[in-house]
A and B are shown apart, each in its own frame.
Chain A
Amino acid sequence: MSLLPKVNMRRTFLIARRDYIGYVKTWGFWISFLLPFLFGGFGILMARADIDLTPTQYVTVIDTTGEHEANLMALDAENKDVQAQAILATRAYFIQDKKKRADFLRILRAEGADAGQTYLKQNIPTLSTEFVVPSSEFTFVPPPARTLKDLLPYLRGEKMIMVDGEPAELGGAVIFKAGESPERPQTEYWSSNVNKVDVPNLVDHYLRRLARVTYLDSKGLSVEELDRLVATAPEAVLYNPIKTQGSDQGVNSSDTVPFVVATILAGFLWLAIFSGAYMLLTSMLEEKLNKLLEMMLATTRFSEIILGKLLGVAALTLSMMAPYIIVGVVGVIGYVAFGPDQDVVKGLVSAFSAKMIIFLIIYLILGYILYGAFFIALGSLSSSMQDAQTLTTPILFVLMACVVVIPLGLTAPDSPLLRIATFIPFSAPFAAIVRLPSDPPMWELLLSTAFLLLLCIGTIAMAGRIFRFGILSGAGAEVVITWFKRVVLRRKA
């Protein structure tokens, strides 16, 4: 007796094709398929149109002490420079020369965004595209009145200020008054927009800093010197004692990229299995509600219907994910071919090893079959969406619990939990993939695959029986509950 059921591939293909086309013809499929393109296009359009979604808020300062206005604005300019530095720092990824990259980052941190940009222009002209500091969410303007009473009509929108010859609304006013001491001024912020907190945050930052500077000054210390020392402090160098490639055991992108890639791939695997299995459930339910299965069974084997559905929905899931897969594959190939950072290139090549690709395919297929067979069986027992939701809740919990192991691959690839999860068939696909970059023993991977394969065979056999029973009866959740009460709880249903 053959372990696997007999299958006529032509009929199986026809069932798979019908399921695939049935879904492809729906609006939902095309919305999902085109969503990344629509979002991408919308993003490009917005960038091209240069539409400012958050118009600049105009804020004024009335400083009755005469000591804080200039300092507050200097702090604002400093913050904006830090923001510009962070954006400019991303260009370091495109500098191939390690020394130049280090110099650029050092100058950027120590001397600011302008100095960093000048360095790029002089030393790496290919990267020195004009850098425009993103527009600020607020801008300081001269006060249209000197007292709060006179300012209130502007703040209420009854009067407008003039900015570059155009009328504009005054969004807020910072008022410094003399306090208990010069470094502890009484400070107020007036604005009708109570949810916009960037100016209050700046003021708060300013007051904390003022207290710090005053204290350091009182002790004869310079805050500028402290800031310079913090900015130029040496950085710890990471080494990996088990790294054997080359003489340098220092950790770089080539060591970390495989872990990041494995985490992303495990996430993709989870998403593919989850969405595929859920589509199988709805497809099965639709089939049951359409009441066509019984007619098909006069001419088709149960196994052909199950396999046809598994294949049809698998093709559908891959089609829905195709935009993301294509972007990912093109991105990786593009970076490997033309990417400037050779450490990242090395990391990508190592991440997409033959072992990773083979096990990814194996776990994708087996994981999909395992969960898919469960969902087909439960779908065939359901007679409504409510039934389906009730019956699939436990297996959905299991699938959700598996998400927990994925981030462990990045932060704790040697976690015992991850190792145990590798041998539990429900979590094996995700746990094994995230462990691959840390090179687990091959016997562990093979044993994990064998357990998963055995459970798949058992699940298919069980799903076939449930499917046979479910579609020929008016079964629903109550059938399962009755069975549970009778067999497990040994109660009279």
Chain B
Amino acid sequence: MMSPLALHSVSKSFAGKPAVTDVSFEIEPGQIVGFLGPNGAGKTTTLRMALGLIKPDSGTVDLFGKTPGEDAFGRVGFLPEERGLYKKQTAREAIAHMARLNGIKKKPAFALADDLLDKYGLGDAKRKKNKDMSKGMAQKVQLLAAIAHDPEFHILDEPFSGLDPVNQQILEGIVREIASRGRTIVFSTHVMEHAERLCDRIILMASGRKVFDGTTQAALASAPRRVNLASEAEGLTALVTPFASDIETRKNGELSLILKPDAQAHDILERSVEQGLRLTKYEPIRPTLHEAFVALVGDDVRQDMSPAKPEKTDGVNA
């Protein structure tokens, strides 16, 4: 199957200030890809270039194998970062209007709007004007408007921002449901938990550059590995020092350490058994994507400040 989106060494500057620098990646059909990065990382600019809304200064973009444009109309569902609806339209009119712009005829467009609103718990709001809806409801209506024509490829820019936890969970459900139909999804976010739960693959951006591109597991491997330990006997600190790159002693006497790259948590357990040191606590901490993100981006930011820095990329698709 053809890749829905491929970027080849794409760069873009605004008024001489680089927004995106030499970014390349290719999205595989059927993937859920998380496009992560802090504010100002270049996520929105990259997605706009992917859709052809702005042209790259250098590099090329292939959307369904062609330059973004007319050929992709109706095949892409795009939810931009900035949200809005026509205030005087009803929810069903808003969804049907976008569906019709994507080529669906009038009657089926309104039937589709009604079905989607019923399906996602907004049946009562069908004839409610957008100006009278809550922010969460309006955001869901806009998402439904973006996906009503059942496109092959979805680009969702910060879809979770501004939603309360309940609506975030509902939105996660919608994303999973779309993916279950074999559709490809790229969504940008700076909330790691969503990416962790939803994504097959993560592309991490910082300062306009791609700093990581790979599976979630590969990203987690970049995160520091922590172990929490406690013992009533003396000598715990001396025992763990050869395995730790950083040791923190807490108020209750527990140690929280970061493992050296070549060390494993079970090495500590084995050594304590060998030395007869009884552990009252042995707790390897599962790394989070947030930690991986901080580790990767922090490193990149430091490198960015030094001249002639080679770009760091990790993972299977780098």
Residues of A within 8 A of B (CB): 6, 8, 11, 14-15, 18, 22, 25-26, 289-292, 294-301, 472
Contact = CB atoms under 8 A, between A and B. Distances in A.
B84 A289 contact: yes
A329 B288 CA distance: 75
B86 A290 contact: yes
Interface in B81-109: 82-89, 97-98, 100-102
Contacts of B38: none
B194 interface: no
Nearest to A474: B82
A235 to B, nearest CB: 61
Contact of B84 (A22, A290, A301): A290
B86 A292 contact: yes
Contacts of A8: 70
A14 B54 contact: no
A299 B98 contact: yes
Q: Is the interface of A mostly helix, strand, loop or mixed?
A: helix
Interface string B219-260: 000000000000000000000000000000000000000000
Contacts of B76: 298-299
Contacts of A18: 86, 97
Nearest to A302: B53
Contacts of A15: 101
29 contacts: A6-B70, A11-B101, A15-B101, A22-B86, A22-B89, A289-B84, A290-B85, A290-B86, A291-B82, A291-B83, A291-B84, A292-B84, A292-B85, A292-B86, A294-B82, A295-B98, A295-B145, A296-B98, A296-B101, A297-B51, A297-B53, A298-B53, A298-B73, A298-B77, A299-B74, A299-B76, A299-B102, A300-B73, A301-B70
Contact of A298 (B51, B83, B89): B51
Contacts of B89: 22
A299 B53 contact: no
Contacts of A22: 86, 88-89
B80 interface: yes
A295 B95 CA distance: 12
A230 B226 CA distance: 115
Nearest to A25: B88
B73 A472 contact: no
The 3 closest A-B pairs by CB, nearest first: A291-B84, A298-B78, A294-B80
B102 A294 contact: no
Given A25-B88, A290-B84, A295 B142 contact: yes
A287 to B, nearest CB: 9
